[in-house]
Amino acid sequence: MRQAVLTEQQYRDLTKQIVRSIEMKSRIVPLNTLNHPKYYLKTPVCISLEYDGDTVIAGFSDIEAFSFADTEYEAIGQLCEQIVMLFEDLASDEKALGPSPKKWLAYLREIIGCR
């Protein structure tokens, strides 16, 4: 049985096709604002956008926050709302938090400022 051998150019072309295919299904983008009257981001953070058919999934994996919508704009807006709600929920009862939520709250306090 013979194995197929790719030329260097074929290998480069195949690699480019694979990378393009992955980029079309997901990408990392900066989030610069929470679009909230009370809170703002002190520094931009990276979020992921994934595409599953007609659905856009926005994710902030550092705190395990995700949203689903029909458009990027809606998914990012809902993710901002999720981040703010999580921040407020965690801060409201800090003593009852487990190890992971405590880390999330500490991180959110580093990146979120109050107006």
Handedness of CA 13, 14, 17, 19 (dihedral sign): negative
- 79 and 67 in contact (C-beta within 8 Å)? yes
**In the chain, where the domains are located:** 25-114
Q: What is the pLDDT of residues 50-102, one digit of tens each?
A: 998 889 999 999 999 999 999 999 999 999 999 999 999 999 999 999 999 99
Whether the predicted model's global pTM rises above the 0.75 cut: yes
CATH code assigned to 25-114: 3.30.160
